[in-house]
Structure 1
Amino acid sequence: MKRLLTLLGFLGCIAGSWAQDAVSQNYPVNHANRADGREISTYAIVHEMLKQTTPRCAYKEGMSKTEFKVWQNRLSNAMAGLMNFPEVKGQPAPKRIASEPRDGYTLEKWEFYPMPKAVGTFLVLRPDNAKKPLPAVLCIPGSGRTKEGLAGEPGVDAKFNENYKDPKVCMALDMVKAGYIAVAVDNAAAGETSDLERFKNGSNYDYDVVSRFLLEMGWHWLGYTSFLDMQVLQWMKQQPDIRKDRIVVSGFSLGTEPMMVLGALDKDIYAFVYNDFLCQTQERALVMTKPNANMRRPFPNSIRHLIPNYWHYFNFPDVAASLAPRPIIFTEGGLDRDFHLVQSAYRTSGKPHNVECHHYPKFADPANRKDVKALQEGMDAPTFFKSANVDPPSHYFKHELIMPWLKKVLGQ
C-alpha cells in the first residue's frame, strides 16, 4: 500500500507539473502542421472563421460628412435588426406606485408594462423645488448592481444590499444631488427582476439561464434588456419636468452595452457616459487562447453577452463612434488605438471636442500604457487586461470625472 501511495503521489506530481508546464505555454491555435495548411481541431477552424470575419459596419477613417451619415444610418439599421425588439401595443401606461421624501429630493417607484404578462419597475429621483424642466439621466447598472444601489437605497431584499452609500456605487444619487432628474433601472434578471437569488446567491445573479431561454427563442439578453430600457427612455421623453433635448444615458460596466444600443437606435439622446474600458470584442475573443490548467481555452465572457451575428456588423468602438457628434465620456481607458478610432469619427462629425477619454489612473501616464495596433494571441484574462490598459480593482463609477463633465456638456 505504501508503495502504491508513493507511486500515486509521484504520478500526481508528474501530472501537476505537466499541467503547470502546459499552462506556461501559449499552445498556438494552429498546430496541425499539415503541408496544406488545413486544421482538424474544430476550435482552430472556428477561430480561423472568426479571424476572417470582417464587420460590415466597421468605422473607416477618411469618410466625408455625407458618407459618415450614411454609415451611421446603416449601423443603426443593423443594430435594430440584431436587437429584434418586438412590436407590443395596447399595454397600460406606466404607473407610480410609491413616493417618499428624501433630503433635497423625492424618491419615486414606478411600474411599467412592457409586454403581456410582464411588469418592470424603475426608480425616479426628482430634485425638490424645481421651477423648470431639468436635464435627466437614465442610469444603467453593472452586472452585480441594482437600481436601489444606484439610488443610495438598500436592496428590495437583504441579499441584494450592496455598499449603497459608497460614492463609487450610487450613480443616480449623485445625479439628483447635482440637480438632475435621475432614473434608475435594473438589468434584466438582476435585483428585483431576478429569480431565486434572494434566497441564497444574492447579487450573484443567474443571467445565463435566462439568456439561454432567450437564445433558444431567437432573441438574446442584450436585446431583451435594451427593449425594457427603451420603454423607460420613451417614458422619460413624455415627462413635463424632463427636458427631452437633454436626456443622458449613463452605463456602468455591463450597463454600457444597453447604453450603446439605445444610442444607436434613438437619436434624441443628448449625451452618453461610458463607464468601462473600450475594446474590440472580436479581437478579445481571438487573442484569449491560452489554456487553463484543465487544458481548456477561455472565452472572454458568458452567454449573456452573446448576440448572434454581432461580429458580422461591428465591434464596440464602431458603435461608440456612431454616436458622434453627441457628447460622450469614456472613463476607464482601453487601447489608445480604439480611442483614436472614436476621436476620428468625432472629427469627421465636426465636433472633435465632444468626446472625452480618460484612462485608469494606473495607465494615465502614456509611458505606462500599451500602444499597439493589434494584440497577440496566447493571452489569459489577466494578461489581456494588462495589455488593454485595464486595472480591474479600480473599476467603479467614476463620479470624480463624470459629474464635472456633465456640468460642462449640459451648460450649467
Structure 2
Amino acid sequence: MFPQYIDSTYTNREDGRFLSTYGYVLSLLEKTKPQLAYNPHMSQPEFQNWKESVRKAMLELMKFPEVANQPGPIRLSSDQREGYILEKWEFYPLPGCASRFLVLKPQKRPDKCPAILCIPGSGRTKEGLAGEPGIFSEYTEDINSEHVTMALDYVKAGYIAVAVDNAGAGESADIEHYKMGSNYNYDIISRILLELGWSWLGYTSFLDMQVLKWMKAQNYIDTKHIIVSGFSLGTEPLMVLGVLDKDIFAFVYNDFLCHTQERAIVVTKPQKEGYRAFPNSIRHLIPSYWKYFNFPDVVASLSPRPIIFTEGGLDRDFELVKDAYKKDGAIDNIECHHYPKFENERNRLQINKLPKGLDTSTYLQKVNVDPSNHYFKSELVIPWINKIISKSK
C-alpha cells in the first residue's frame, strides 16, 4: 500500500527535515503565501492599488515581447452563410510567425455591433467554435452540437464573433492529424518556450492580445462592448487578457473556478505505477505564478466588469470574488452557476480546506465538478450577455 501523501508539516525526523525531495518541495509549496492574494480587509484605495499590482505582475509573468514593423492582418476569404458572413483572417504577430482567426458577422446588424472574442478549450479549434469542418477531417468536432459551437451561437444571437485557436491546435498544430487527431501535443511547445524563458500561456495570450487589438480597431465593432469568452483551457488566456486590457467590457468564464496551488498540494495520491503525478501538464506552467496569486485572486481583480461563471467550483472561492465585487459596489455584475448536479446548494460540498492525498477524480467531486457535463453553456451565457448589454446602454 502506497502512502497517500507526505504531510509537509511533519516528518519522522527529530530535526523536522525531509530526506524525501518530494516532501521538501511540497513543504515549500505549502508554505508559499502569494504576495498578491486577495485580502478582504483591504481598504478601497488599497483595493484599487492591489488591482494595479496584479496587472503589473501579470505583465511581468507573461513576458509579452515588444514587436514593431510587422505587416497588418489580411483577409484571406469571405463566405456567405445562412444569416451571417464568415471571414478568415491571417495576422503576423512576430517575425517568422503567422496565425489565423475567424470572424462571424451577422447579416443584419447595427453600424457598430458588440463583439465576442471566443477562445476554445483543449483539443478544440476555431473551426469547431464556428460550426465549420476542421482543416483536416481528423480535427472536425461535433459541429452539430451547440455544446461546441460557441462562436456560431453568438453570431446567431446577433453578435460579431471572433474565434481563435489555442497555440499548437488546429491550423497551428504540427503532424497530429496523421495519427493523433485532436490530441494536440501542447507539451513539446510548452517545453521549448519554457527553456527560452517564456511559457505556453504567455505565448498564446500574446497572440490573442493581437487579435483583441485588431478588434478594437474595426469601425463596425462596438468597442465599448467587447467580451472575452473562454471555454475550459480558454479561461486561462481570458484571465490574462482581462487583467492586462482594461477596455474589455465583460467575461464568460466557462469552466470551474479553482485554487491551483491548493490543487497541487492535495492531489498527491500515487498512481498505480507507483509515483505521484502533477495534476496539470506543463502547458499550465508559468514560472513564479504562485508567488503572486491564484485564479480566484486574478478573477477578483477583474471587478467591477461583468462576469459569468457557468460551471461552479467551491463556494469558498466564489465568496472571495464576490467580496471584491462588493467592494466596487458591483455585486450585480457577477453571476455564478454550478453544474446542474450541484446547482442546489444542498448537493454541494462546503469545504474551506481540502484534504490531502486525493486523486483527480476525487478532487473534482469534492470541488463540485461534473466532468461529463463540461461543455459551452450557451443556454446560460447568451441570455446573460443580452441582459448586461441592454443594461449598459
TM-score normalised per structure 1: 0.93
Indicate which of 303, 312, 324 corresponds to 1:345.
Answer: 324
What is the CA distance between 1:37 and its match in structure 2? 1.3
Match of 1:325 in 2: 304
Structure 2 residue aligned with 1:231, among 192, 210, 218?
Answer: 210
- The alpha-carbon deviation at position 63 of structure 1 amounts to 2.0
Deviation (angstroms), 1:64: 2.3
The percent identity for this pair of structures is 60
CA apart distance, 1:27: 4.0
Aligned residues: 390
**Aligned 8 A contact 2:311 2:338 in 1:** yes
Give the drift of 1:110.
0.2
Corresponding residue of 2:273: 294
Which SS does the other structure have where 2:116 is aligned? strand
Q: CA deviation at 1:62?
A: 2.4
Alignment of 1:153-192 (within 5 A): 153-192=132-171
Match of 1:275 among 254, 272, 279: 254
Asked whether the 8 Å contact 1:107–1:124 carries over to 2, the reply is yes
Deviations 1:196-245 (A, max 9, x none): 01111110000000000000000000000000000000000000110111
Structure 1 residue 248 corresponds to structure 2 residue 188 = no
- 2:27 maps to which residue? 48
Contact 1:135–1:242, Cα closer than 8 Å, also in 2: yes
Work out whether residues 298 and 380 of structure 1, in 8 Å CA contact, stay in contact via their aligned partners in 2: no
CA distance in 2, matches of 1:269, 1:398: 21
2:186 to 207, 211, 229: 207
Matched, 1:76 2:64: no
Unaligned runs of 5+ in 2: none
For residue 208 of structure 2, what is the amino acid of its counterpart? D
**Corresponding residue of 1:382:** 361
User: For 1:36 and 1:246, how far apart are their aligned partners in 2?
Assistant: 59
CA distance in structure 2 between the partners assigned to 1:138 and 1:164 by the alignment: 19
Tell me how far apart the structure 1 counterparts of residues 262 and 236 of structure 2 sit (CA, whole Å).
Answer: 17
Contact 2:128 2:149 in 1 (8 A): yes
Question: Which residue is equivalent to 2:79?
Answer: 100
Indicate whether 1:88 and 2:77 are aligned: no
* Counterpart pick for 1:129 among 108, 113, 123: 108
Q: CA deviation at 1:393?
A: 0.4
Q: Which amino acid aligns with 2:14?
A: A
RMSD: 1.0
Please give the secondary structure, in 1, of the residue aligned with 2:323.
helix
CA distance in 2, matches of 1:279, 1:84: 24
SS in 2 for 1:110: strand
Q: Tell me the secondary structure at the aligned position of residue 143 of structure 2.
A: coil
CA distance in 2, matches of 1:149, 1:96: 20
- Who is 1:216 aligned against? 195
CA drift of 1:26 comes to 1.9
Q: CA deviation at 1:29?
A: 4.0
Partner of 2:4: 26
The TM-score with structure 2 as length reference comes to 0.98
Q: CA deviation at 1:36?
A: 1.7
Aligned to 1:143: 122
Tell me if structure 2 keeps the 8 A contact 1:53–1:312: yes
In 2 relative to 1, CA 60–32 (structure 1 residues): closer, same or farther, beyond 3 Å? Answer: closer
For structure 1, which runs of at least 5 residues remain unmatched after alignment?
1-20
1:337 positional shift? 0.2
Whose Rg is larger? Answer: 1
Code of the aligned partner of 1:268: D
One-letter amino acid of the structure 2 residue matched with residue 382 of structure 1: S
Which is worse superposed, 337-346 or 35-44?
35-44
Shift of residue 367, structure 1, vs aligned partner: 1.4
CA-CA distance at 1:158 after TM superposition: 0.7
Please tell me the residue identity of whatever aligns with 1:92. Answer: P
How far does the alpha carbon of each residue in 1:362-395 deviate from its partner, in whole angstroms, 9 at most, with x for none? 1111111111111111100011001111110010
Task: Note the alpha carbon deviations across 1:108-136, whole angstroms, 9 max, x for none.
Answer: 00000001111000000001132320000
Q: Aligned residue for 1:392?
A: 371
Q: Which moved more, 1:67-76 or 1:28-37?
A: 28-37
1:307 aligns with 2:307: no
What SS is found at the alignment partner of 2:36? coil
Are the aligned partners of 1:63 and 1:348 in contact in 2 as well (CA < 8 Å)?
no
Deviation at 1:65, TM superposition (A): 2.1
CA contact (8 A) 1:363 1:369 kept: yes
- Mapped to 2, the partners of 1:27 and 1:193 lie a distance apart of 39
Map of 1:7 onto structure 2: none
Counterpart amino acid of residue 130 in structure 1: R
Report if aligned partners of 2:139, 2:170 keep a CA contact under 8 Å in 1: yes
Report if the CA contact (8 A) 1:126-1:180 is conserved.
yes
User: Which amino acid is the alignment partner of residue 104 of structure 2?
Assistant: L
